[in-house]
Amino acid sequence: MGRRLADLFHGRPRLQVGSLLAGPLGWLVILYLGSLGVMLIAAFWSVDALSGEISHTFSTDNFQTLIDDSVYRDVAQRTVLIAALVTLTDALLAFPIAFYMAKVASPRMKGTLVVAILMPLWSFYLVKVYAWQTMLSAGGVINWALDPIGLNGPGYGSTAVWLVESYLWLPFMILPIYAGLERIPNSLISASEDLGASPLTTFRRVILPLAFPAVVAGSIFTFSLTLGDYITPSLVSPDTQFIGNVVYNNIVNNLPLASAFATVPILVMVAYLFIARRLGAFEHL
Amino acid sequence: MRLSRRSKGMLGLGVSVTLAFIYIPLVVIAIYAFNGGTTLSWPLESVTTEWFGKALDNQGARDALWTSVRVGAAATGVALLLGTLASFAVARYRFFGRETVSFLVVLPLALPGIVTGVALSNTFTQVFGVDLSLFTVVVGHATFCIVVVYNNVIARLRRVSENLEEASADLGAHTWQTFRFVTFPNMRTALVAGGLLAFALSFDEIIVTTFTIGAGEQTLPIWIFSNLFRGQQFQLTNVVAVMAVLISIIPVYLAHRLTLEEGGATAGRGARGEAEIAEVTAVP
């Protein structure tokens, strides 16, 4: 049986590729892209105000609502702003440790740090949010630690979302930057030093430009994951809405509107991926 | 790199800040698991280990854990099959639209979970007319787990020379034999590592699960989430949370060890670090 099958495929590369790709592409194109397509179509439907039934007639009313109603605009702006802030914060927090791992630490230390950063990357998302929720609560660790110096923690709200999202996605930024810095040959750095550049100049003129695509690669995840999250905002910022919350809250009662609003993060991400590719980030994914 | 004392000091400071930022919340939640008081206030009023026993006895948490394990195993199975097939096609053949495959595979993880969740849930109920169940959760999870397997296997296939396979064919082995005796043994650990990471990803997932799960079913994250909102039994939630972290760390640690060992064996020592990073971090 195996033999006969092998004979059939022998010398027929097209047949080989075709049968290799049939399963995965069938799954991803028909099921996944198909689902995204259905959602896009649903964005043009509407909900009958009287019966609450979905009416399958084409209209652009949902998008008109999203553009006209300032609430949705504010929500979208706030979400994109937080996602950008989280990305910036993570880049600043990630660079020193990634640099230390790639260029300074001993091989042994390097291995330890990689594990130390991989562990929290995979530990429960929900537990991490929960940990912050307890830490930020009125009687929590943060207020307790700040109290002696007369300060108060941020409590729940947009600042909390910024902190927690930065926390959640930080390892996604550290690892690509580390891998990107590893790729920079040490000889380039030595050459810069031998030519008399100060460490700061070497960093600014040699290391940073070469590592930038890796930073952009990491930013794809920090940005996208923040953009679509609705659980963190609902747990640490009950009174401020983000794109994810609005989509989630509308799913039961107004699926078409939820679908229309869900196209916002898709469009933002497609634009982001397009720019990231121009910056050469895809080789660092 | 030669660093002055001052830059070394600043670098050390940066590293410490980041490590503290990563680990303080995890340590805090681990301490809370021993909370003997009735509020979440800090510092703890009293310390106890009684909630560990209660968590292990809790039927809801145990059922949810078992559900998560079954869903994770099924999703991992599908992802292993589809991810391996796709990585073979891309690594070993030249064809039109080859770059698009990599993009397509990453998409379910690069787009926000809520988008994937809403889109799939919509299609299941409106287009296919199937009721949401654990089966639909498995389909959803498998969709975004494919990329983890794909990235792991393709990184390995790129490092294992095609010459080996050609040599096998020249020596008279047919396609199946070459796969069975040459290709497969070389990629076995990449499959295990990819599978473990896919399992960890599914085990931890909550957003896509929320949208695709049937009424009355609970995975572990869903159980934790619904208990968080109820507010009661928070001591129990603390303990389950810590246990969940410990459980999800095991497959990741194993995957790391595997790629470390195999990476050393198949690639040169110099390439080892980078190859290993490429495989283990091949998250999305």
**Whole-angstrom distance, CA of residue A169 vs CA of residue A88:** 12
Higher pLDDT, A25 or A122: A25
Question: What's chain B's average pLDDT?
Answer: 82
Out of A141, A178, A248, the one facing B28 most closely (by C-beta) is A141
- Closest residue of chain B to A284, computed from CA coordinates: B278
Out of A7, A137, A273, the one facing B40 most closely (by C-beta) is A137
**Whole-angstrom distance, CA of residue A126 vs CA of residue B247:** 14
- Closest residue of chain A to B222, computed from CA coordinates: A126
**Whole-angstrom distance, CA of residue A70 vs CA of residue A67:** 7
Burial class (CB in 10 A: 0-12, 13-18, 19+), A4: exposed
| pLDDT of residue B281 exceeding 60 | no
Higher pLDDT, B269 or B3: B3
Q: Could you give phi then psi for residue A284, rounded to 5 degrees?
A: -105, 5
**Whole-angstrom distance, CA of residue A283 vs CA of residue A213:** 8
Q: Could you give phi then psi for residue B68, rounded to 5 degrees?
A: -60, -40
B65 touches chain A (CB under 8 A): no
**Whole-angstrom distance, CA of residue B255 vs CA of residue A144:** 39
Out of B14, B25, B176, the one facing A2 most closely (by C-beta) is B176
Confidence band for A159, pLDDT divided at 50, 70 and 90: very high
Cis omega (within 30 of 0) on the bond before B185? no
Confidence band for A7, pLDDT divided at 50, 70 and 90: confident
**Hey, are the CB atoms on A31 and B127 less than 8 Å from each other?**
no
**Hey, are the CB atoms on A122 and B1 less than 8 Å from each other?**
no
Query: Does residue B96 sit in helix, strand or coil?
Result: coil
CA neighbor of B127 nearest in space, from A39, A175, A95: A39
| pLDDT of residue B241 exceeding 90 | no
**Whole-angstrom distance, CA of residue B181 vs CA of residue B221:** 41
Interface test with B, best of A14, A35, A251, A266 (most B CBs within 10 A): A35
The pLDDT of A240-249, averaged and rounded, is: 90
B261 touches chain A (CB under 8 A): no
Interface of B with A in 75-134 (CB under 8 A): 81-83, 85-86, 88-89, 93, 95, 101, 104-108, 110-116, 118-120, 122-123, 126-127
For the full predicted model, state whether its pTM sits above 0.90: no
Out of A130, A141, A262, the one facing B42 most closely (by C-beta) is A141
Mean pLDDT comparison of A74-78, A113-117, A254-258, B279-283, highest-scoring range: A74-78
Neighbours of A40 (CB within 10 A): 15
The ipTM estimated for the assembled molecules is: 0.85
b (16+ CB within 10 A) / e for A205-215: ebbeebbbbbb
Residue labelled with tokens 């530990």? A123
* Tens-digit pLDDT profile for residues B183-206: 888 888 889 888 988 998 898 899
- Residues whose CB is less than 8 angstroms from the CB of residue A38 and which lie 6 or more positions away in sequence, other chains included: B119, B122, B123, B126, B127
Confidence band for B180, pLDDT divided at 50, 70 and 90: confident
| pLDDT of residue B31 exceeding 80 | yes
> What are the helix and strand counts (H, E) for chain A?
15, 2
**Whole-angstrom distance, CA of residue A171 vs CA of residue A118:** 7
- Closest residue of chain B to A234, computed from CA coordinates: B229
Question: What's chain A's average pLDDT?
Answer: 87
Confidence band for A215, pLDDT divided at 50, 70 and 90: very high
Q: Could you give phi then psi for residue B35, rounded to 5 degrees?
A: -65, 120
Confidence band for B232, pLDDT divided at 50, 70 and 90: low
Residue labelled with tokens 């690669």? A217
Kindly report the nearest CA distance between residue B184 and chain A, in angstroms.
15
The CA-based angle B136-A37-A252, given to 5 degrees, is: 60
pLDDT of A2: 63
**Hey, are the CB atoms on B139 and A31 less than 8 Å from each other?**
yes
Mean pLDDT comparison of A120-129, B39-48, B63-72, B173-182, highest-scoring range: B63-72
**Whole-angstrom distance, CA of residue B98 vs CA of residue B91:** 9
Tell how strand A46-47 and strand A54-55 pair up.
antiparallel
